């Protein structure tokens, strides 16, 4: 059905709409991202601002997954425009990108939705939302043909974040048990960090998130977010991905790159923080 095709919302503004130009830009960021890793991660955290701002940092996360043998990816991001309870899944069809359509991993999406009543269909949450779309220039270009499950979190409360983690764990583990080989699913948490603080203040606030990610401490991060929600706009998605990755066997987290918007704009008086992290 035509309604199952999600058109690109910010191509031509947040990132180039031309496939050739977008490929050159992504390749340039990836080429400058020096990452010393030997195994493909189970999960990553990557920012989602305009590509010229967050792309140089996000590239470190995607450089780590570039040669991974993944069967599917699950993208979890925050809802910036639509308030709702639960997590909105796009369960079928495809998303348009300048590189062509990226297919939804429909069987996996169905399994995740069946695992939790918190996972719902709510198409309006995806209409203008950029948090997932900003991952697709990297995902579509570096892992072509890998289908994905798009998920946008509404209110980022404790119940929602941990319920999603449980659903991801259950769906992925049960599908792996039913197959002859382990299904390799990449979990992606899409989040920027602190917003519109001066750079030293931002770095101090962001250090809290970086520390909990490296500890794989979803509970510690959730508590920090409950005390100060402005640590990260996608804190709930990070909590969900951290907890699911740990339950699926991850034992270590590593911050691959930290930066802020002032690295590009030159204005350090009011910045947005960015982190790229890998979880193994």
Q: Residue 96 above 90 pLDDT?
A: yes
pLDDT in tens, 36-82: 988 999 999 999 999 999 999 999 999 999 989 999 999 999 999 99
Q: What percent of the chain has pLDDT over 90?
A: 94
pLDDT in tens, 211-233: 999 999 999 999 999 999 999 99
Q: Residue 238 above 50 pLDDT?
A: yes
**Span 149-158, mean pLDDT?**
98
Q: What is the pLDDT of residue 180?
A: 62
Where does the pLDDT of residue 2 fall: very low under 50, low under 70, confident under 90, or very high at 90 and above? very low
Where does the pLDDT of residue 1 fall: very low under 50, low under 70, confident under 90, or very high at 90 and above? very low
Q: What percent of the chain has pLDDT over 70?
A: 97
DSSP, residue by residue, the chain: -GGGEE--SSBTTTB-SSHHHHHHHHHHHHHH-----SS--SEEEE--S-HHHHHHHHHHHHHHHTT---SEEEEEEE-SS---SSEEE--SSEEEETTEEEEB-HHHHHHHHHT-TTEE--THHHHS--TTGGGHHHHHHHSTT--EEEEEESS--HHHHHHHHHHHHHHHHHHHHTSSS---EEEEEE----EEE-HHHHHHHHHHHHHHHHTT-HHHHHHHHHH-GGG-TTHHHHHHHHHHHHHTT---EEEEEEEETHHHH---SSEEEEEEEEE-
Q: What is the pLDDT of residue 182?
A: 72
**Span 116-120, mean pLDDT?**
98
Where does the pLDDT of residue 17 fall: very low under 50, low under 70, confident under 90, or very high at 90 and above? very high
Whether pTM > 0.95 for this model: the answer is: yes
Q: What is the pLDDT of residue 53?
A: 98
């Amino acid at each position: 059905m035509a309604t199952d095709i999600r058109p690109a919302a910010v191509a031509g503004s947040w990132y180039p709409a031309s496939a050739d130009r977008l490929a050159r830009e992504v390749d340039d960021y990836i080429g400058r991202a020096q990452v010393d890793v030997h195994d493909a991660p189970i999960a990553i955290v990557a920012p989602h601002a305009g590509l010229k701002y967050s792309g140089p940092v996000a590239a470190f996360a995607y450089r780590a997954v570039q040669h991974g043998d993944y069967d599917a990816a699950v993208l979890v991001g925050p809802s910036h425009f639509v308030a709702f309870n639960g997590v909105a899944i796009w369960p079928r069809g495809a998303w348009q990108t300048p590189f062509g359509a990226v297919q939804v991993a429909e069987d996996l999406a169905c399994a995740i939705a069946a695992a939790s009543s918190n996972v719902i269909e709510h198409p309006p949450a995806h209409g203008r939302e950029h948090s997932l779309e900003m991952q697709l220039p990297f995902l579509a270009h570096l892992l072509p043909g890998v289908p994905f499950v798009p998920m946008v979190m509404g209110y980022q409360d404790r119940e929602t974040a941990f319920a999603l983690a449980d659903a991801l764990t259950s769906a992925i583990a049960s599908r792996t048990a039913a197959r002859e080989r382990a299904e390799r699913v990449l979990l992606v948490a899409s989040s920027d960090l602190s917003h519109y603080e001066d750079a030293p203040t931002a770095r101090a606030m962001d250090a809290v998130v970086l520390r909990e990610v490296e500890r794989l401490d979803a509970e510690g991060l959730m508590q920090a977010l409950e005390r100060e929600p402005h640590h990260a706009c996608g804190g709930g998605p990070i909590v969900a991905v951290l907890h699911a990755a740990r339950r699926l066997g991850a034992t270590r987290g590593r911050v691959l790159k930290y930066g802020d918007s002032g690295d590009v704009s030159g204005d350090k008086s009011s910045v947005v923080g960015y982190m790229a992290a890998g979880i193994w």
